[in-house]
Structure 1
């Protein structure tokens, strides 16, 4: 079975996927950058990006154009392109458009306000098609895949969770609801994501990186007496020492997603506790009691599984428990049998794209690094890190620019080689890369390899 046939078999009823053809691949991403609007507090952001990776054999002609549409051109011959990109003019394989995606409704009933939800991948309105002499070679859409794990259960069920490639987000709770404004955009070193946790999960993210701070309660954020008496309103998702969003919002999104996406496995990594926890074990206990109250019967107990790679997806589904909670405080983990030990994060602390890519290559392609032997999961943190002086003296920079500098390259790097050695990969502004799709296709390949070995 060819790679193209493998993809089609995995989702026979789904939209056209960004699969490899004999000549390459096309995919759509969303820029993390923004542009000001004159005399307005509003900004233009979430602009569409077109990406391609060509690898044509000598006897095959080279594709010449990519066209962007607001409907699938393969099923709607009358739709006219919004944009035509001449590939020869862009040898880097990337083009940022001025087409704003915005924050559209999620297809298939997956808007956060509830309703019937349909499994499988679903296209948003934007499509891109790769052409040679005005003939379509392949096409792709900007899409969500809210149920990819269970959709692919026949292929992926035998794989241990520690062997899967799992797409994740870094500082997952550091986002802003609603449209971006100039004021929000200038929080350039605080916000790391453009979508809330519900939307991240619906797109296909399965690993959430969370840092928690403890603060006195803010009365207007307490919606009922239980929040006050159980101290839930005091816990916030932080970016380092700055609080960003109430933890309750993230808990609600994860719980709602697990309730409707009944085969999906989610990893919540409570990695650090930068404010209010030092020397206060009772606050860890309060936080853990809230997690148990909200998720109880969904929490999977730790297991190293076969060969130390954790339980298989089949094992997890058979248990009926699909939430893994990793916790970065050893004393607390020792008190609760259902908490997973701290998860190793491979973090390069790099300030340039070349430095980050060199570090990631050394981790993924070099000798295996020491990891927490008590936890079969580990994460590559594929984002750059600003220095303290950058925050003070680089007013035109920020995390959006850092993400933009690397996201467009991560997709190709992981889909070519790095996927073989990756477990979790977490990024900033995840819509700026194609790692959800790369992870799904990589897991299908891992399943084929495992089956061949059997």
Structure 2
């Protein structure tokens, strides 16, 4: 029954894709912005956004209405819309609602981290439908897809890992549990995500960008036990510690244990605090990673150029965790660590500057990439200047992510998907790049099959 349900969901999804292709599509994202509440320290965040992209044949005309529901209108005829948008004057657009998504339980059993989990895509409660003359043309939901790689194994199995478009997050461990408050003002430039790593992976993220600091004697710090020694490793945003590394390790291990066909990439990219001229600390971290993930780590093919193993190769071997490490001396000591991954980081402060940089990097020559590692990542987010942080000139990382995220969806959907391997963003729910990546990989598979 579980497989039958997953198959039906997939068929439903592909039917929706085929229908939407005839007349555009509608999708839901979650705004990274927050609003203050009068006379309160609390704020409103995680509000729903409606997005549409209409490309209809001239013979059909454009749709006229979008409705937002808290259930699937195709299966629940009595559900009333929470929002109605009419007179869609622009073929492409978005609308920020005041409907709060919050942090709801994850469907399909994926909220427990250790319970029964159902494969396939699963809808959260919010749906959007596109209408013309009162008839639904297409609909979509805010959804998770925790098993997309293995669900699509027939299409994607032949693709090398270096040719896939893989959705990821930037500074993946820089999140905060619980509700935001006005007092979080200083953290406007520290937090880059609003969901923990488990939730990121369940939504469909497969690349984690990790920066680690070492703190030998922090009072009340969260420790990782290692024999008779207590090592204190934290996820950092630059020199500021944010989240215990143990939380990220636990989430990744739990996810790989229950999502048994998914491949995850952990990119230990920088070590901003406590590692300089301390190779023993790198070794200590490597030993913790080996202990926690033994049996799951995929070794690199050293000295072999190309795009890396195919998903079929990875599934055959059963090792599904790739650990890239940004210290070459440590990489040389351990044959299971992948060399440092090239990150295309533009250090841009405007949307125009970022897009100009990304267009040059994605569509241009590939000389800057590490030939020893077939994987490379586009870091698709804005970077504040130090003065921005001191004087809050740009409003914080949430505002910066909001200005770029929806535009990223269109650019990767239309052209950048062809040449992109990994794409990492801030506040990933503010874009639709998980879905764009999945559809891009299906297209890449079709192209590869056609060439055969």
**TM class by smaller structure:** over 0.9
1:284 to 2:274 alignment: no
Alpha-carbon distance between aligned partners in 1 of 2:181 and 2:170, rounded to the nearest angstrom:
22
The within-5 A match list for 1:85-124 is 85-89=85-89, 92-124=92-124
Counterpart position of 1:446 = 444
Counterpart position of 1:3 = none
Q: Secondary structure at the match of 1:11?
A: helix
Alpha-carbon distance between aligned partners in 2 of 1:223 and 1:361, rounded to the nearest angstrom:
42
Q: Secondary structure at the match of 1:389?
A: helix
CA apart distance, 1:244? 0.2
CA apart distance, 1:15? 9.5
The within-5 A match list for 1:41-440 is 41-89=41-89, 92-218=92-218, 220-222=220-222, 226=225, 229-232=228-231, 234-303=232-301, 308-394=306-392, 397-440=395-438
* Count of matched residue pairs: 445
Alpha-carbon distance between aligned partners in 1 of 2:276 and 2:41, rounded to the nearest angstrom:
40
TM normalised by structure 1 equals 0.94
The within-5 A match list for 1:18-29 is 20-29=20-29
Contact 1:15 1:123 in 2 (8 A): no
Alpha-carbon distance between aligned partners in 2 of 1:304 and 1:185, rounded to the nearest angstrom:
46
Q: Secondary structure at the match of 1:248?
A: helix
Range 438-447 or range 91-100, more displaced: 91-100
CA apart distance, 1:13? 5.8
Counterpart position of 1:5 = none
Counterpart position of 2:4 = none
Q: Residues 161-210 of structure 1, C-alpha deviation per residue, up to 9 Å, x if partnerless?
A: 00000000000000001222222354110000000000000000000000
| Structure 1: tracts of 5 or more residues without a match | 1-7
Contact 1:304 1:376 in 2 (8 A): no
Q: Secondary structure at the match of 2:187?
A: coil
CA apart distance, 1:11? 1.3
Alpha-carbon distance between aligned partners in 2 of 1:325 and 1:235, rounded to the nearest angstrom:
17
Q: CA RMSD in A?
A: 1.9
The change in CA–CA distance for 1:114 and 1:306 in structure 2 (over 3 A counts) is: same
Alpha-carbon distance between aligned partners in 2 of 1:387 and 1:307, rounded to the nearest angstrom:
37
Alpha-carbon distance between aligned partners in 2 of 1:218 and 1:87, rounded to the nearest angstrom:
58
Alpha-carbon distance between aligned partners in 1 of 2:15 and 2:220, rounded to the nearest angstrom:
46
Q: Secondary structure at the match of 1:308?
A: coil
Alpha-carbon distance between aligned partners in 2 of 1:430 and 1:222, rounded to the nearest angstrom:
27
TM normalised by structure 2 equals 0.95
Contact 1:222 1:228 in 2 (8 A): no
Alpha-carbon distance between aligned partners in 1 of 2:98 and 2:16, rounded to the nearest angstrom:
23
| Structure 2: tracts of 5 or more residues without a match | 1-6
1:38 to 2:38 alignment: yes
Q: Secondary structure at the match of 1:236?
A: strand
Range 267-276 or range 13-22, more displaced: 13-22
Alpha-carbon distance between aligned partners in 2 of 1:293 and 1:231, rounded to the nearest angstrom:
15
